[in-house]
């Protein structure tokens, strides 16, 4: 899932590099991962809300980056009482 298109991927790397932070890839951790997370988490939460309404017993399997940030927003288990 790439929110805002692929043009943002270069920016995720270029902005930190401008300030002396050289990261091999910026989609998981560091400043680039934070930028990506700020774009991706709201969309991911929308998907989880849709799942709660349309398929409440489904399990979200996430293999997209920033995986650790997205997973922390996803509730553990399948409780219908989750606040997401």
Q: Summarize pLDDT for 19-71 with one digit per residue, the tens.
A: 998 887 766 778 888 888 888 888 888 888 899 899 989 888 877 776 666 66
Which is more confident, 80 or 14?
A: 14
Cα separations in angstroms, 44 against 20, 47, 56: 30, 5, 16
Domain boundaries, the chain: 7-73
Between CA 9 and CA 48 the distance in angstroms is: 24
Q: pTM for the whole thing?
A: 0.70
Residue 2, pLDDT score: 77
Which is more confident, 73 or 65?
A: 65
């Amino acid at each position: 899932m790439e929110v805002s298109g692929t043009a943002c991927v270069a920016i995720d790397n270029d902005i930190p590099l401008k300030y002396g932070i050289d990261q091999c890839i910026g989609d998981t951790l560091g400043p680039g991962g934070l930028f990506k997370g700020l774009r991706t988490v709201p969309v991911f939460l929308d998907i989880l809300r849709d799942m709660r309404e349309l398929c409440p017993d489904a399990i979200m399997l996430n293999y997209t980056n920033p995986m650790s940030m997205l997973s922390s927003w996803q509730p553990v288990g399948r409780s219908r009482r989750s606040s997401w």
